[in-house]
Structure 1
């Protein structure tokens, strides 16, 4: 039996519901047979999700009642099965999923390719061609540098969702294949500063204006080397494209690397520097008291998360070289240490008010001293560890994404 061809899929996301809907409609009218799906999560804390499906003359609103109100349950129980059903309908030639504002495209992309619907993932039926993120130019800079949590804007994706708006908007931007700019900034300075942030968090992502595109031209803007839903390799390169290294409108880029571990207590104290005057932090950390696992550190605006990036290759229970990506093998080979293997510090920080020197000094001061380094791994294991146990998501049977695995809940500056 010949397998049916996969149906093209486009994800549309962003924090601006109006422009998101406009872009989804442009895609719908551009190609007959385009189905547009949207899940409204505004009542998800009550276990209610409203799903709208448009296909030709069909405009259907369905109220879904979920036992556990969260994005994972919405994906597993409705969106993924729906994608498979739509892909098998002969009149459907393309599917556009307009994501709720609180949804990040990376975990959705991961679920499409990895979560089973019956015997197969939805990715066997759909082909993710593009991730389009709408950027609201009037609010992007404030959103990306602010401290607001989603609950303050009624944008929670689950009752326990503590993410900040900055974490969501920057994740949406970084994972995009094309950025669609909507509206205008309040003034020229805000526009220039927002552009400087985008240049550093998404340097290789093309930008188009919503007012100047149609459903064909926006897809034509997708680069040949776009990631198209490829999830983040937390042991891969931290920089995609070639971001500018100079300071522009006060926005700069710092890369921090080191070949010795962090002291857990001093690292915990140093993390405060990533919560003031910093737009974004992403990277891996080697902590002396936990020598076999890589920490994943991620901050956005006033929110900070620390997660588990899995074991180092040199760890006793580390993966086989043949089981990891070629990119990870290459990076590990370049920095391999005869004693510590691939363990190393590598963080990329996009700064705003904080100077690169302050970032470097705080992080470098958290590294083991020469005397501590000489004491050896057995002494390191006895250091008090303030990080505690890894956080577990409430829906244990659905891992949202490798890039979010075991991530702690977001913390705001005033909570530190």
Structure 2
């Protein structure tokens, strides 16, 4: 018996509550559109307030969760609710207005992978679009600052140590359409914000809130929209063809190398990815852990390093048939007869930092010819300050057995299980 058609699902994300509410209200215009919003502002007390609107129905429910966090909100309420709504005959579209602390990618991953009654919710809903709202007056400062979510009262759990910049950029990178609200404080700020967006979300359409209707929003979705696609940490890092020339002081720099980093020298050098850097994303090959790729991600003053899974060439690596065609192609292009697909590839979007200084610092962290000749047995014995996770700043890595894993996309997805 064929399954019934899946109900279209829209995610609305953004850091500014009022514009988020305005967009959610606009999307609620149709009689068959259900709008869900989980307010996490009291989540540290284990309380989440859920608002559900459907037609004339407007319900506010106070949820008391055993473990107050974004992930238990997803598992215990949002995912089961999506399934119930999708099975209601009067519902023809669902809009999830995400809390300001929530990023779209972990939510879309949970929809496709977390089981509810032995089946993922993606069997009932189809992610139609991710709309990310930007407050033009504040977004650039948010995306380049050092402020923690907790300092702004926006954390997604009592242990949430993400920065506002990490969330601001993750929300934009997941977007199918960027919805601009308000105006920048000056022309220079507007031009600089546009230069950042051109590089972190190249090709993503931008529409103005208040100057578009629902039809215009959906018409703006490009044919190749991600629609909740989860980042392949072994895929291409320059998706969408960002401009390579500098604009308003914003520049895109790519670091590549086919020899590993010395773990201690990389640890000493990695602060170069913070000062004057808007965003870093990419893979690293660390000599002391040669079988696993590291994922490095920075935003504003926040930095995270985690494991991205084994290289294809590692003994525990996946079979070529098990990975995406894109990963196979990229690995083939750089395949080394000795080291396989192991390589360094980092994309850095700079503001005031010098790409030349970044390159010099990272090159200085690579193994020397003499160290390279020592081979993997010697590399594995190097003192390793990383372990499986690193978050900046760190006083003494040896004092910490397990680091909170809020900054890395892969680990955020893992935590929703």
For the aligned pair, the TM-score class normalised by the smaller chain equals: over 0.9
- Which deviates more, 383-392 or 362-371? 383-392
Distance, in Å, in 2 between the alignment partners of 1:405 and 1:290 is 23
| Aligned residue number for residue 20 of structure 1 | 20
Unaligned runs of 5+ in 2: 391-401
How much has 1:388 moved relative to structure 2?
Answer: 2.8
How much has 1:401 moved relative to structure 2?
Answer: 5.9
Q: Secondary structure at the match of 1:100?
A: coil
Correspondence list, 1:202-213, <5 A: 202-213=201-212
| Aligned residue number for residue 2 of structure 2 | 2
Distance 1:132 1:78, change over 3 A: same
After superposition, the C-alpha distances for 1:333-367 in whole angstroms (9 at most, x for unaligned) are 11111100000000000000101111111111110
Check the 8 A contact 2:40/2:99 in 1, yes or no. Answer: yes
| Aligned residue number for residue 246 of structure 2 | 247
Matched, 1:152 2:151: yes
| Aligned residue number for residue 236 of structure 2 | 237
Check the 8 A contact 1:292/1:311 in 2, yes or no. Answer: yes
RMSD across aligned C-alpha pairs, in angstroms?
1.5
Correspondence list, 1:378-397, <5 A: 378-390=377-389
Check the 8 A contact 1:116/1:122 in 2, yes or no. Answer: yes
Check the 8 A contact 1:231/1:402 in 2, yes or no. Answer: no
Distance, in Å, in 2 between the alignment partners of 1:188 and 1:211 is 20
| Aligned residue number for residue 414 of structure 1 | none
Distance, in Å, in 1 between the alignment partners of 2:404 and 2:291 is 26
How much has 1:403 moved relative to structure 2?
Answer: 6.2
| Aligned residue number for residue 402 of structure 1 | 410
Q: Secondary structure at the match of 1:216?
A: helix
TM-score normalized by the length of structure 2: 0.94
Q: Secondary structure at the match of 2:62?
A: strand
How much has 1:376 moved relative to structure 2?
Answer: 1.3
Distance, in Å, in 1 between the alignment partners of 2:85 and 2:37 is 14
Correspondence list, 1:169-318, <5 A: 169-318=168-317
| Aligned residue number for residue 349 of structure 2 | 350
Correspondence list, 1:314-333, <5 A: 314-333=313-332
Check the 8 A contact 1:264/1:288 in 2, yes or no. Answer: yes
Distance, in Å, in 2 between the alignment partners of 1:389 and 1:275 is 20
Check the 8 A contact 2:45/2:68 in 1, yes or no. Answer: yes
Matched, 1:101 2:109: no
Q: Secondary structure at the match of 1:83?
A: helix
Check the 8 A contact 1:288/1:380 in 2, yes or no. Answer: yes
Distance 1:405 1:379, change over 3 A: farther
Distance, in Å, in 2 between the alignment partners of 1:136 and 1:360 is 34
Aligned residue pair count: 402
Q: Secondary structure at the match of 2:207?
A: strand
Distance, in Å, in 2 between the alignment partners of 1:2 and 1:206 is 36
Unaligned runs of 5+ in 1: 408-416
| Aligned residue number for residue 75 of structure 2 | 76
- Runs of 4+ in structure 1 displaced over 3 angstroms? 389-395, 400-407
